[in-house]
Structure 1
Amino acid sequence: MSGLTLHLDVERWRRHLRAEAGSTPGLVPVAKGNGYGFGLHRLAEESAALGVDTIAVGLPSEVEQVREAFGKTVVILNPWDAHNPLAVELAEDPQVLTTVSRLADLAALADLQTRPRVLVEVLTSMRRHGIAPTDLDRVALLADRVRIEGWSLHLPLREEGRFTEAEQLARAALAAVDAPLWFSHLPPGEAAVLAAGLADAGAPPVPLRLRSGTQLWLGDPDSRHTTATVLDVHKVSRGERVGYRQRPCRFDGYVVVVAGGTAHGVGLEAPSSASTMRQRAIALTTGGLEAFGTALSPYTIAGRKRFFLEPPHMQSSQIFLPNGATPPNLGDEVPVEVRLTTVTVDQIVPASP
């Protein structure tokens, strides 16, 4: 075993998946990008094992990566693009559900001979994709030329005002076309209250589909951990020049070369929000440290996270370990804290008991 390795307690992970599926009516697993660190094919297999009838991908190019393992409906979350030949081809595929976020695109899809399956996206306060609530009545004019299988609403993560927004947009959508509501970032408890509240007196709750990616696949962090193989260890002295940039060492110590670099996504973590002055100060400080080649790495060696010697390389990183700390041996596995939505591991292995 060598490289960047994800150690997965498979049984515990699957227990979490089953629990999420059991508590999320209308669950639509999301498998896109790097497959949340697990790979798209594996997530398709796990989705099939959960017994769901739909899986969501981000791009048309990801459909083929899940279709072999998941033989039911595949919904493409990114808006349909008339200039993408693959998107046009897949819109006529009976297994594919196409998301449409512009009235002009909905009209173009309505001109296809196959009466494609579509999910119409409503513009939320995210202001990313979607048809404005004031224009939803125009969707109804095309409802007989496409198969509208639902309204898609992608809500922000912020809890304040989320339920109110979901209810207002849902009512506007249902007033235009009576169809199921597909939500991202709406908790199951709020979804149940919303569905019941939208229903007419004596009628069953409005059908809701809840998309889940991060919470489903990564919601139990104790089911996994990631390590990196020690590839080399070199004793260095103060003043000795090291690394690509040949910066002089500030102290005596060791250069520890570990698996994981920019090709894996190490050092390329997704940005987090900095809404307070303290968070902004931390971000500014971190940026300054990185500029001087002293950014704290995600690698733990001899009990502590250690600093990068310089920015990560393509497939490995150089870490500085000061004198006084016991250096690891060649081939040792050291803990590395990574965000699986941005990192690609070399291998996934069963976690040791």
Structure 2
Amino acid sequence: MSLALTIDTEAWRTHLANFADEAPGLVPVAKGNGYGYGLGRLAQETSLLAERNPAIDTLAVGTQPEIAQVRAGGWHGDIVVLTPWSRFDGEEVLHDERVISTIARLDDLAAAQSVNPRARVVLELMTSMRRHGLPVEDLGRISERLGDLQVEGWTIHLPMVAQDRLGEARALAAGALATRRAPLWLSHLTAQEYDTLRGEVSVPTRLRVGTKLWLGAPKTRRTTARVLDMHPVHRGERIGYWQRRMPTDGWVVVVSGGTANGIALEAPTAASTMRQRAITLASGSMEAAGLALSPYTIAGKKRFFVEPPHMQSSLVFLPGAGSVAVGDEVPVQVRLTTVTVDEIRG
């Protein structure tokens, strides 16, 4: 029984290599669930990219505990931790010569110095994301507080959608470089925006990329679930934990994958267009009526859940005559950043 991710490894690695060739200063990002592939696998793939392109010398992780996971996966280069270090975190990371910590608050800058005056750090600037960062108005106070810290650069984490993202990056870069000349670490610029900014500054630039790198070639992978069991049901018959009535004759199909895998546990969507909002509204209306469309495709169509997914399996309803058999694998559309698969093939 498994929810499986099958990779066309050769095609995927061709995509990764081409992406790296077109992104000078690339810093791959491996965080969370490893974009569905797992942190260990991403560490291996980054190592292969580095063998081919020695300029890839740094891997970004989301949190401090992920450092050990990518090292166990075989990454031996530098590691930058994206979540800013604070005085409430462990101090060992500031003594690790292969780790670069992010600093995003003046108080934490002073605290880091007290732990290791020569710690390797990048300084994050506040952007319109409004998540982490040193305010631009504090830049004048920063230069006198850096002491002997090894400043590896300024990091600018931009929003994914903005009217003038390049303009924001330009303004922040100008303020930062006027304070201290150091490399620029950038996120969420398009290739064209990145190339433009690279040509305008006289310091090295690094481009941190996760989703577009690892998930940028959808045809190189597919996710499937196995049909575990199936039972004929009749209209009006009550089934499942919640004894819901069946709307018509058909089959209850038991498929692998449930809440333990993240099935139907989705993150909020960024519904920014009228069409996206209409789809969200329609989905919410169906769920209110007890009808929730599942991510499983059987006989060419996505099918409705019979009830909320179970821990390790899900019940979906197939109207009419059965067209699958126990043991078949069926496509399941998942968001790999929120799903944990049982098996990776390839």
Q: TM-score interval w.r.t. the shorter chain?
A: over 0.9
Q: Quick one: distance in 2 between partners of 1:39 and 1:293?
A: 34
CA distance in 2, matches of 1:157, 1:145: 34
Looking at structure 2, the residues matched to 93 and 142 of structure 1 have their Cα atoms a distance apart, in angstroms, of 22
- Report Cα offsets for 1:175-221 as digits up to 9, x if no partner: 1111000001112332222122233xxxxxx2100001000000000
Q: Which position in structure 1 is the counterpart of 2:329?
A: 333
CA distance in 1 between counterparts of 2:193 and 2:274 reads 32
Corresponding residue number in structure 2 for 1:347? 343
Alpha-carbon distance in structure 2 between the residues aligned to 1:266 and 1:118: 38
Report the equivalent of 1:179: 182
CA contact (8 A) 1:254 1:327 kept: no
Q: Which runs of 5+ in 1 are unaligned?
A: 200-205
Q: Distance in 1 between matches of 2:237 and 2:153?
A: 64
Give matches, 1:214-253, under 5 Å: 214-253=211-250
- Which deviates the most, 118-127 or 155-164? 155-164
The percent of aligned pairs where both chains have the same amino acid is 55
Could you tell me how far 1:67 is from its partner in structure 2? 1.4
Is 2:94–2:119's contact at 8 Å kept on the other side of the alignment? yes
Residue matched to 1:124: 127
Once residues 304 and 116 of structure 2 are traced to their aligned partners in structure 1, the CA distance between those partners, rounded to angstroms, is 60
Q: How far 1:91 sits from its partner (Å)?
A: 1.6
Residue deviations 1:151-173 (CA, integer Å, cap 9, x gap): 11111111520110010000011
User: Residues 62 and 83 of structure 2 are in contact (CA less than 8 Å); yes or no, is this contact kept in structure 1?
Assistant: yes
The 2-side partners of 1:152 and 1:54 are apart by 14
Structure 2 unmatched ranges of 5 or more: 51-55
- 1:249-278 deviation digits (Å, cap 9, x = unpaired): 111111001011111111012222122344
1:283 partner amino acid: T
Question: 1:113: Cα distance to partner?
Answer: 3.5
One-letter identity of the residue aligned with 2:291: T
- Which residue is 2:53 aligned to? none
Task: After superposing the two structures, state which structure 1 stretch, 144-153 or 279-288, moved more.
Answer: 279-288
The CA distance in 1 between the partners of 2:95 and 2:140, in whole Å, is 25
Alignment correspondent of 1:263: 260
Instruction: Name the counterpart of 2:270.
Output: 273
**Pairwise CA RMSD:** 1.3
Matched letter for residue 57 of structure 1: V
CA contact (8 A) 1:111 1:145 kept: no
Aligned residue number for residue 96 of structure 2: 93
- The corresponding residue for 1:38 is 37
Alignment partner for residue 206 of structure 2, among 192, 203, 209?
209
Q: Which consecutive aligned stretches of 4+ in structure 1 deviate over 4 angstroms post-superposition?
A: none
Residue type of the alignment partner of 2:4: T
**Cα distance in structure 2, aligned partners of 1:113 and 1:99:** 14
How many Å apart are 1:107 and its aligned residue? 0.8
Preserved CA contact (<8 Å) 2:117 2:147: no
SS state of the match for residue 192, structure 1?
helix
1:62-81 to structure 2, matched below 5 A, reads: 62-68=66-72, 69-81=74-86
Q: Secondary structure of the equivalent of 2:261?
A: coil
Q: Alignment partner of 1:111: what SS? A: helix
Q: Distance in 1 between matches of 2:68 and 2:289?
A: 44
TM-score of the pair, normalised by structure 1: 0.93
| 1:142 aligns to 2:138 (yes or no) | no
In the alignment, what sits opposite 1:162?
Answer: 165
Q: 1:220-253: per-residue Cα shift (whole Å, max 9, x none)?
A: 0000111100011011111111111111111111
- 1:35 partner letter: G
State the match for 1:12 in structure 2.
11
Contact preservation (8 Å) 1:31, 1:40:
yes
219-228 or 269-278: bigger deviation: 269-278
Q: How many Å apart are 1:70 and its aligned residue?
A: 0.6
Match of 1:189 in 2: 192
Q: In the comparison of the two structures, how many residue pairs are matched?
A: 340
Of stretches 251-260 and 153-162 in structure 1, the one that deviates more from structure 2 is 153-162
Higher alpha-carbon deviation: 141-150 or 336-345: 141-150
How far apart, CA to CA, are the structure 1 residues paired with 2:150 and 2:166? 28
Q: Calculate the TM-score normalised by the size of structure 2.
A: 0.95
1:94 to partner: Cα distance: 0.7
CA contact (8 A) 1:92 1:114 kept: no
Instruction: Read off the aligned partner of 2:173 and give its amino acid letter.
Output: A
Partner of 2:60: 56
Give, in whole Å, the separation in 1 of the partners of 2:205 and 2:275: 39
